[in-house]
Amino acid sequence: MTPRKRSKKQSSSSESLQGRFRANLQQRLPQIRFLATVVILMGAYYTLTGMDAFSKNFLPAYLTVVASVTSAALSLLGFVTVTSGTVVSSTAFSMNIAYGCDALEPTFLFVVVVLAYPSMWKRKLIGALIGILLLYTTNIVRLVTLFWTGTYKRDYFELLHIEIWQALFIILALALFVVWVSLAERRVKHEAV
Amino acid sequence: MKRYNALLMFVLKAVSVYIVCVILLFTGAGDGYSSYFRGLGNFLFGKRWENVAISFVPKNAQQTTLADGHRATNISVRINNKDYHYADGRPVQGELGVNSHLQGYLPTALFLALILATPLGWKRRVKLMGIGLMLLHVFIAVLLWFVIVGYTEVSGIGIYRFGDVMKGFVSNVVQVALVNQIGISFVVPMLIWLGCSALSGALGTLLPAKEEE
C-alpha cells in the first residue's frame, strides 16, 4: 500500500470513528440530559441544605412535625408517648429525630429523578406528589418500627436504623420511580393509539 | 401485577444481596474491609502532601463508646504537619476518626446489590460493576480529602491556607458529608448505579414488558 493510500484509509477510518462517536452521543443524549439534570438538582439540594436558613429555620420546624406525627402514630398502636421538639419519648425509650432521619434526601432524590425524566409536566407533578406522600408515610412507619425496636429490642436499634432502613428506603424510592416511569409511558402509548 | 415481575425480582434480589452483605459485615468482612480502607487511605494520602505525614491506623477500641453504636469511628487518621511545632519543638499532631463501614462498606454493598440485581448479561454487568466501583472509590477518596483538609483547617494544622470562601465551602461539604453521613452514603451509590444503568440502557430492563398489539 502506498503512503498516500494508507493516509486516505486512516483518515476515513478516523472519520468513521468520529461519526460513530457522534451517532452514539446523539443516541444517548436523552440519558445524558436526564443524568446531568439529576446531578445538578442534587447539587442544588446539598447547597440548600448547607445554608443557615435551611438548618436553623426549616429543618427544626419540619422535624418537629415529623416527631408529632410519629408520636400520634405510636399512640394509635398503644404506646404512651410525649414529644418535646424533635424528641419522642415514653417511659421506656426516647428517640431524637435528627437530620438524616427526616427522609428528605431520598424523597428529594425521587422528586428529582421524576422531574428530570422526559415526560409531560402534569404527570411529573402528580407522580412527584404521590411519591412524596408515600415516602413520607413510609418514613413514619420506619420511625415507628425504630421506636418499637428501641423499646423492646434495643440491641438491634442501630442495625435497623443505619444498615437496614436506609438502604431499604433508597431501594423503595427507586422502585417507586420505575413504577411511575412504566405508568407514564403506558399512558403515552395508550394516548398514541 | 405480572407486568411488574422484573421490578419485583430486582427489588427482592437487591434487598437479599444487601442483607447478605450486612451479615458479612458482622461476621468478619467488616474487619477485612476496614484493613483495605486503611490501606487505601495510606496509599492515597500517606505522602500526598510535602511536610505532612498522614497515617490511617485502627482505632483503639477503648476510644469508641457503645453509645456511638454503628456510627462509632473505627479508624484513626493521624496527621503530622512538620511545618508546625509546639513551643518545646515537638511537631503538632492531629487525629480524627473515620468510619470505614459507613464511608466505604455500606455504599459499596448497596451498589453491588443494585448492580447484581439488575437483569443484565454477565459481561455487561461486570463492565458496569467495574465502572461503578471505580466511581465509588473516587467518591470515597474525594470525601476523605474533604474530611482531612476540613479537619486540618479547623484544628489549625492546616495543610492549605484557605480564604474565607473556600473555608466556608469545605466546611459545608464536611457538614453535609459527615453530619448527615448516612444519607450521602446511600444516595451516592444509588446515583452511580442510576448513571451506569441509564447510559447502558439497563434501566429499561426493569420496566414492564410491552403489551402485545
HSE-CB of B206 using CA atoms within 13 angstroms: 28
Q: pLDDT value at position A142?
A: 94
Q: Please tell me the least confidently modeled range out of A73-77, B132-136, B144-148.
A: B144-148
The tens digit of pLDDT for each residue in A63-74 reads: 999 999 999 999
Identify the band that residue A4 occupies on the pLDDT scale cut at 50, 70 and 90.
low
Query: CB–CB of B69 and A158 under 8 A?
Result: yes
Q: What is the spatial order of strands in the sheet that B52-58 belongs to?
A: B52-58, B75-85, B91-98
- Residue B200 covered by a domain: yes
Q: Which residue of B has its CA nearest to A173?
A: B190
- Range with top average pLDDT, A18-22, B2-6, B61-65, B145-149: B145-149
- Residue B49 covered by a domain: no
Identify the band that residue A2 occupies on the pLDDT scale cut at 50, 70 and 90.
low
Q: Which residues of chain A have a CB within 8 Å of the CB of B173?
A: 50
Average confidence score pLDDT of chain A: 85
Nearest to A162 among B18, B182, B199 (CB): B182
Q: What is the reported pTM?
A: 0.82
Identify the band that residue B210 occupies on the pLDDT scale cut at 50, 70 and 90.
low
The tens digit of pLDDT for each residue in A11-31 reads: 666 677 777 777 777 777 888
- Residue B192 covered by a domain: yes
Percent above pLDDT 70 for chain B: 86
Q: Which residue of A has its CA nearest to B26?
A: A159
User: Domain residues for B27?
Assistant: 2-42+104-206
> What is the biggest distance separating any 2 CA atoms in chain A, rounded to whole angstroms?
91
- Residue B29 covered by a domain: yes
Q: Which residues of chain B have a CB within 8 Å of the CB of A155?
A: none
Q: Which residue of A has its CA nearest to B69?
A: A158
Q: Is the pLDDT of residue A139 over 70?
A: yes
- Tell me if B115 sits within 8 A of B128, measured CB to CB: yes
Cell numbers describing residue B36: 483495605
Cell numbers describing residue A152: 423492646
- Residue B77 covered by a domain: no
- Residue B81 covered by a domain: no
Query: CB–CB of A109 and B187 under 8 A?
Result: yes
Q: pLDDT value at position B178?
A: 67
Q: Is the pLDDT of residue B213 over 50?
A: no
Count of residues making up chain B: 213
- Residue B34 covered by a domain: yes
Q: pLDDT value at position B65?
A: 41
DSSP codes, chain B? -GGGHHHHHHHHHHHHHHHHHHHHIIIIIHHHHHHHHHHHHHHHHTTSBTTEEEEEEEPPGGGS-GGGGGGS--EEEEEEEEEEE-TTSPEEEEEEEE-HIIIIIHHHHHHHHHHHHS---HHHHHHHHHHHHHHHHHHHHHHHHHHHHHHHHHHT--SS---HHHHHHHHHHHIIIIITHHHHHHHHHHHHHHHHHHHHTGGGGGSPPPPP-
Torsions phi, psi for B90 (to 5 deg): -70, 145
Identify the band that residue B69 occupies on the pLDDT scale cut at 50, 70 and 90.
very low
Nearest-angstrom CA–CA distance, B55 and B73: 15
Nearest to A158 among B70, B110, B113 (CB): B70
Selected residue with higher pLDDT from B71 and B199? B199
Q: Is the pLDDT of residue B20 over 60?
A: yes
Q: Is the pLDDT of residue B193 over 50?
A: yes
- Number of domains comprising chain B: 1
The tens digit of pLDDT for each residue in B117-140 reads: 998 888 989 999 999 999 999 999
Note whether A28 contacts B: Cβ–Cβ < 8 A: yes
How far off is chain B from A158, nearest CA to CA, in Å?
A: 6
- Residue B172 covered by a domain: yes
Residue with cell 484557605: B162
The tens digit of pLDDT for each residue in B78-121 reads: 888 877 777 777 777 888 888 888 889 999 999 999 999 998 88
- Give the B-side interface with A, CB within 8 Å: 3-4, 7, 10-11, 14-15, 18-19, 22, 25, 69-71, 102, 106, 109-110, 113-114, 172-173, 175-176, 179-187, 190-191, 194-195, 198-199, 201, 203, 206-208, 210
Identify the band that residue A144 occupies on the pLDDT scale cut at 50, 70 and 90.
very high
Query: CB–CB of A162 and B69 under 8 A?
Result: yes
